[in-house]
């Protein structure tokens, strides 16, 4: 399931009820924004699905975003759907000392069910291809397991990246199971940004420099 797709761009793929073959849903040029008004995917009715990215990124942030206004299980039994969301050709931020990969998801449940379950994972891959799984990726954040039996949910998973070759791809995998008649909306973000230097370390460095200057002055005096 981790094999790359033949084409390389921004895309959303999906798979139903534990199947083995992902199906293309949205795709377009890397770094673009793509929209889907509505679609019926097996037992699921999906509305206003979108994907966007800022590939190749900026010096302070790279971002892959997907959103759905609503996903509803219209069948009379529990069903599952997995989404693979990816884009390629990221070349910024520049290589570390260190970068932080943030895998985020948030949303709300429109119709609750005790059968609801979800997980979310994001990853970076220097193969620079659209992946269907984060297995074997260069760096992985997650999986997170947001509580989608509540009215609203959110989860963040992080990974610190200490080395990274360019170009590379970003991928987010979202797996959801909904009970009969249950629905939800979500927004997911995979972002990569330099880790800011802690203020305490910066102040410590400044203090040590000042102490050294004072000592030299005393010796010279």
Residue 1 lies in a domain: no
How many domains is the chain built from? Answer: 1
Q: What is the pLDDT of residue 22?
A: 93
Q: What is the pLDDT of residue 183?
A: 94
Domain span at residue 176?
10-220
Residue 137 lies in a domain: yes
Residue 5 lies in a domain: no
Mean per-residue pLDDT of the chain: 88
Higher per-residue pLDDT: 210 or 106 = 106
Per-residue pLDDT tens digits for 126-179 = 999 999 999 999 999 999 999 887 789 999 999 999 999 999 999 999 999 999
Residue 103 lies in a domain: yes
Residues in the chain: 221
Please state, in angstroms and rounded to a whole number, the distance separating the CA atoms of residues 165 and 128: 10
Residue 2 lies in a domain: no
Q: What is the pLDDT of residue 189?
A: 97
Structure tokens at 79: 């069903």
Mean pLDDT of 108-134: 94
Place of tokens 């989860």: 155
- Predicted structure pTM score: 0.85
E strands, 9-138, are 10-16, 23-28, 33-41, 44-53, 62-73, 79-90, 99-111, 117-125
Q: Is the pLDDT of residue 209 over 80?
A: no
Share of the chain above pLDDT 70, in %: 85
């Amino acid at each position: 399931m981790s094999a790359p797709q033949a084409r390389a761009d921004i895309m959303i793929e999906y798979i139903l009820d534990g199947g083995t073959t992902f199906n293309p849903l949205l795709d377009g040029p890397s770094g673009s924004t793509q929209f889907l008004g509505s679609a019926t995917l097996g037992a699921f009715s999906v509305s206003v699905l979108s994907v966007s990215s800022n590939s190749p990124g900026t010096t302070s942030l790279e971002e892959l975003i997907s959103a759905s206004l609503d996903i509803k299980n219209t069948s009379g039994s529990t069903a599952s759907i997995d989404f693979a969301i990816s884009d390629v050709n990221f070349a910024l931020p520049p290589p570390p000392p260190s970068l932080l990969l943030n895998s985020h998801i948030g949303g709300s449940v429109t119709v609750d069910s005790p059968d609801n379950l979800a997980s979310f994972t994001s990853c970076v891959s220097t193969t620079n291809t659209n992946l269907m799984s984060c297995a074997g990726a260069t760096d992985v954040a997650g999986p997170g397991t947001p509580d989608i039996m509540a009215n609203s949910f959110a989860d963040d998973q992080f990974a610190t990246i200490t080395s990274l070759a360019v170009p590379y791809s970003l991928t987010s995998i979202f797996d959801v199971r909904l009970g009969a008649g249950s629905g939800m909306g979500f927004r997911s973000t995979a972002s990569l940004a330099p880790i800011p230097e802690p203020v305490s370390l910066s102040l410590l460095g400044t203090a040590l420099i000042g102490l050294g200057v004072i000592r030299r002055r005393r010796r010279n005096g």
